[in-house]
């Protein structure tokens, strides 16, 4: 059955199209045109007046099996594989209901997340489109070694990449530096050598896989970029040299502002289950992280939204708050929306998502109000009237706005 969306603003992932309507049929966008062209349409209608219709948002960095506890790894270690899988499915449903219609899982556990991905992508359950990295590849003692694939030397890194491809990974995640959540490592330190990074990235690309690198220190960032990486995750200690080389090569930055911000907020709110070493490192990197993102944004570099959802107090379903965090540091509302839709889709190679255009999947968020003026309309799920995935309504909150309008009118 065809459905017409119209009456309000339309942000198509790149630009605003006022006075336009969107015709959806069989889960896809059939037509985007001035509203007058649909004057005789007699089918179902969704009134978007007073709101902003936009593509479903995309989170390019999550951990679907982690539950955002103060110490997610410790909690996960006490669970069976079946419990982890069920909880992961719940996380993905919450993510979709929060307006995120596609995600990139950047490291799971024992490939459990693949079963979730296949069930959702195959249409057996409603959730966001998933792309999964499988096991993160790290050096001995490196960041992510608790659940990652430990590999040392170029030959072993190549073997580790092949293992992920054989297991069914959609992308490859390689750990270029230390990180905040692993004890005994410094975020500033390069872990893999330039030779090891290049070997792994080259092998991934040989099999047409996108390659992401957890990279926080400057040398590790440069090793990844010079090795041909597609995206830098976090990018905390970027330098002018990093910015220049990343921009020259068209490398995406996936900022994950929510990660450090939520760790510190959780601690300030009284959660003492977060390990002390995590708090110490989070405090050390907080301001530098913001400065690096601002550098790359000012330089005009490619950016795609990512949150690191699943890390402490970084909850699945609240992913869109990253838009608000980006705007707080000086990114414009339009650009933050672009980074969360069209740009993120391009990084994830989702040709039919991230834009409202003819032939694209009918993945939408209908925000109440003007998201191009007030980013909170898109960033906070309580301001979403409707979330749609492949033409199917995943969350309908329109009644809340009708009730609120009635209450205001009665006063």
pLDDT band at 162; cut points 50, 70, 90 = very high
- Summarize pLDDT for 164-174 with one digit per residue, the tens: 999 999 999 99
Cβ proximity of 327 and 333 under 8 Å: yes
Establish if 326 belongs to a structural domain: no
Give how far Cα 72 sits from Cα of 65, 69, 143, 316, Å.
9, 5, 15, 13
Phi/psi for 296 (5° steps) reads -70, -35
Instruction: Give yes or no for residue 281 having a pLDDT over 90.
Output: yes
Domain that holds residue 390: 3-56+354-410
Identify the domain boundary among 319, 340, 365: 319
Same domain, 131 and 152: yes
Is there a domain that residue 343 lies in?
A: no
The pLDDT score that the predictor gives to residue 120 is: 98
Q: How confident is the model at residue 405 (pLDDT cuts 50, 70, 90)?
A: low
Q: What digits encode the pLDDT tens for the residues 351-360?
A: 999 999 999 9
Q: What is the pLDDT of residue 15?
A: 97
Q: Which residues are bridge partners to 386 per DSSP?
A: 366, 396
Residue 325 resides in a domain: no
Is 116 among the domain residues? yes
Give the tens place of pLDDT for each residue, 189-217.
999 999 999 999 999 999 999 999 999 99
Residues 37 and 163 in one domain: no
What is the mean predicted confidence (pLDDT) over 311-330? 98
Same domain, 52 and 191: no
Distance between CA atoms of 375 and 367, rounded to whole angstroms? 10
The pLDDT tens digits of the residues spanning 113-140 come to: 999 999 999 999 999 999 999 999 999 9
Same domain for 73 and 191: yes
d(CA 411, CA 399): 19
Task: Collect all residues with Cβ–Cβ distance below 8 Å to 386 and sequence separation of at least 6.
Answer: 46, 364, 365, 366, 393, 395, 396, 397, 398
pLDDT on residue 155: 98
Within-domain flag for 329: no
pLDDT of 266 higher than 80:
yes
Q: Find the DSSP H helices in 39-191.
A: 72-77, 81-97, 112-121, 154-167
pLDDT tens digits along 38-68: 998 999 999 999 999 999 999 999 999 999 9
- Residue 107 located in a structural domain: yes
Query: 294 and 264 in one domain?
Result: yes
- The shares of helix, strand and coil residues in the chain, as percent rounded to the nearest 5, are 40, 20, 40
CATH at residue 88:
3.20.20.140
Question: Does any domain span residue 336?
Answer: no
**pLDDT(371) > 90:** yes
Take residue 309 and report the two structure tokens written for it.
């959802």
Assess whether 23 and 104 both reside in one domain.
no
Total domains in the chain come to: 2
Domain boundary among 302, 319, 336: 319
Same domain, 391 and 313: no
Q: Do 35 and 120 reside in the same domain of the chain? A: no
- What's the rounded mean pLDDT across residues 10-23? 97
Together in a domain, 18 and 65:
no
- pLDDT the model gives residue 1: 82
CATH number of domain containing 50? 2.30.40.10
d(CA 348, CA 101): 13
| Same-domain pairing of 99 and 47 | no
pLDDT of res. 401: 84
Residue 74 and residue 146 share a domain: yes
Question: Would 332 be classed as within a structural domain?
Answer: no
148 and 34 belong to one structural domain: no
Residues 340/58, Cβ–Cβ less than 8 Å: yes
Q: Which of 303, 319, 335 is the last residue of a domain?
A: 319
């Amino acid at each position: 059955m065809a459905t017409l969306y119209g009456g309000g603003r339309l942000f198509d992932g790149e630009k605003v199209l006022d006075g336009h309507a969107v015709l959806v049929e069989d889960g896809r966008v059939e037509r985007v045109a001035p509203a007058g062209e649909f004057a005789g349409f007699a089918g179902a209608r969704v009134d978007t007046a007073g709101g902003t219709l936009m593509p479903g948002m995309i989170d390019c960095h999550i951990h679907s099996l982690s539950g955002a506890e103060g110490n997610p790894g410790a909690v996960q270690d006490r669970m069976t594989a079946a419990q982890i899988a069920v909880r992961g499915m719940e996380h993905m449903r919450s993510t979709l209901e929060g307006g995120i219609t596609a995600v990139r899982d950047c490291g799971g556990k024992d490939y459990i997340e693949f079963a979730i991905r296949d069930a959702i992508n195959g249409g057996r359950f409603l959730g966001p489109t998933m792309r999964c990295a499988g096991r993160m590849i790290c050096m001995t003692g490196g960041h992510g070694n608790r659940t990652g694939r430990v590999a040392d030397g170029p030959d072993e890194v190549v073997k580790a990449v092949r293992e992920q491809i054989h297991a069914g990974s959609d992308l490859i995640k390689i750990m270029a530096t230390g990180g905040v959540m692993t004890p005994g490592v410094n975020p500033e330190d390069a872990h893999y050598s330039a030779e090891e990074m290049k070997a792994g990235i080259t092998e991934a690309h040989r099999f047409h896989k996108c390659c992401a690198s957890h990279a926080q220190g400057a040398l590790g960032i440069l090793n990844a970029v010079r090795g041909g990486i597609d995206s830098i995750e976090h990018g905390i200690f970027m330098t002018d040299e990093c910015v220049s080389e990343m921009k020259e090569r068209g490398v995406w930055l996936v900022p994950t502002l929510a990660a450090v911000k939520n760790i510190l907020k959780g601690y300030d709110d009284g959660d003492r289950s977060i390990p002390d070493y995590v708090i110490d490192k989070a405090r050390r990197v907080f301001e530098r992280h913001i400065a690096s993102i601002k550098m790359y944004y000012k330089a005009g570099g490619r950016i795609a939204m990512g949150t690191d959802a699943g890390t402490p107090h970084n909850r699945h379903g609240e992913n869109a708050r990253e838009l608000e965090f980006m705007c707080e540091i000086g990114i414009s509302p339009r650009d933050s929306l672009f980074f969360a839709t069209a740009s993120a889709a391009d990084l994830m190679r989702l040709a039919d998502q991230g834009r409202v255009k003819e032939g694209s999947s009918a993945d939408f968020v209908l925000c109440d109000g003007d998201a191009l003026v007030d980013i909170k309309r898109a960033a906070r799920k309580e301001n979403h009237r409707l979330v749609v995935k492949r033409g199917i309504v995943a969350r309908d909150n329109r009644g809340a706005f009708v009730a609120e309008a009635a209450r205001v009118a009665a006063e």
